[in-house]
Amino acid sequence: MDKKINKIKEEIKCFSIKTYHDSETFRIKFLGKKKGIITIFLKELKKVSIHKRKIYGKIINELKKEVQKKISIFLSQNEIINEKIQKYDPTIPGKSIEIGSFHPISILKNRMIDIFMKIGFTYVDGREIEDDWHNFTALNIPIDHPSRDMQDTFFLYKDPDILLRTHTSSVQIRYMKKHRPPFRVLSIGKVYRNETISSHSNFMFHQAEGFYIDKKVSFSDLKQVIHYLMTSLFGKAKIRFRPSYFPFTEPSAEVDLYCNSGWVEIMGCGMIDPKVLKNVDIDSETYSGFAFGIGIERLSLIIYNIKDIRMFFDNDVRFLKQFTSEF
C-alpha cells in the first residue's frame, strides 16, 4: 500500500494542467466516481484493518485535497486571464505614435542635395577634424595670411596643427587629391569658428560647398549654376554678383539675394585659383573650375522667415514641429 500511495503522489505531482480539458482529465483520473484512482483506493481501504484504515485514510484524504488544490489553482489563474480578456476592448483606438519632423537645417540640406543631383553633382561627406594644410595652406591661405584671423577655431593639437575645420572648402582639397577631373561635387556639414558678433550661432554653423572642374569651365557656368540654385529654392530670385576676395578663388565674388529688407549677402564663390589646383596636382592649363560656399543657417532664415538664428539650436519642440517636409 505504501508503494501505491507513493505512486499516486508522484502522478499527481507530475500531471501538468495547461487547458480546461487537462484539468477535467486530471480530476476524472483521480477523483472520478467509478474509476478514479483515489476513489478506488478509498473503496479498497474498507477491506483493511481499522488501524491501517485510519493511517492510510488520512494520507489518501490529503492527496485528495492536493488534487482539488491543483485544479483550483489552475481555474483561478484562468479566471484572471478571462477577466483580462473580457476587459480588453479591441475597438479602442491604439495609442498614437508621435512622428518627429526634420530639423529645418536637414530639410534645406536635403533639398540642396536634390537640386544639385539634378545637374550631375555628386554628394560627399567631409571631415570636421582637419589639419592645417587642408583647411588653410592648400587653399592658398599661408600661415601669416590675415584671413586666418577671421577663421579662428578650436585647435585640438598644435604642431602639427589639428583643428575643427573653419569652412567646407577643405573638402575641395580632400576630393581633388583623390579624384581627377572632370567632377562636380557638393558637400554640406558643420564648420567651426570663433564668432561672437556675426549673425551665426556662437561657434558652429552649417555650410554647403560646391565645386565643378572640367575643361573650359567659365565664370558664366558659375553664374548659371547659382542662378539655378536660387530659382530652385525661391521660385523667382533676384541676385547680384559683387566682386570680392577669397584666397582660393580668382576672380572671387559674393552673391547677394534681394529680400524684402533689401540685398542680403548669401554666399561666396569664384573661379578656383590655379595655385590651389597646383597644390593638388591638377593641370590648370587644361582644367578650370568654380567653387562656392553657402551658409545654410542664413539661407534657412530667409526661406522660412525665421527671425532669430538661435532658434535652430534651442531644440524647442514647438519651433521644430512646424517644419514638415517631403524629405
Which residues form the interface with ligand DAH (CB under 6 A)? Answer: 167, 169, 209, 246, 249, 268-270, 291-293
9 vs 223, which CB is nearer to ligand DAH? 223
Question: Least distance in Å: CB of 132 to ligand DAH?
Answer: 15
Question: Least distance in Å: CB of 150 to ligand DAH?
Answer: 8
d(CA 181, CA 283): 10
d(CA 57, CA 65): 12
Question: Least distance in Å: CB of 140 to ligand DAH?
Answer: 11
d(CA 303, CA 175): 30
Query: By CB neighbour count within 10 A (0-12 exposed, 13-18 middle, 19+ buried), where does 15 fall?
Result: middle
Question: Least distance in Å: CB of 269 to ligand DAH?
Answer: 5
Maximum separation of any 2 CA atoms in the chain, in Å: 123
Question: Least distance in Å: CB of 173 to ligand DAH?
Answer: 11
Question: Least distance in Å: CB of 94 to ligand DAH?
Answer: 49
124 vs 320, which CB is nearer to ligand DAH? 124
36 vs 295, which CB is nearer to ligand DAH? 295
Question: Least distance in Å: CB of 251 to ligand DAH?
Answer: 10
Q: Which residue in 242, 243, 270 sits closest to 258, CA to CA? A: 242
Query: By CB neighbour count within 10 A (0-12 exposed, 13-18 middle, 19+ buried), where does 162 fall?
Result: middle
23 vs 172, which CB is nearer to ligand DAH? 172
**CB closest to ligand DAH, residue no:** 293
Beta strands across the sheet bearing 249-259: 122-123, 183-192, 204-214, 288-295, 262-272, 249-259, 239-246
60 vs 173, which CB is nearer to ligand DAH? 173
23 vs 135, which CB is nearer to ligand DAH? 135
126 vs 268, which CB is nearer to ligand DAH? 268
83 vs 142, which CB is nearer to ligand DAH? 142
Question: Least distance in Å: CB of 325 to ligand DAH?
Answer: 26
Determine the angle formed by the axes of helices 2-14 and 50-87, rounding to 10 degrees. 0
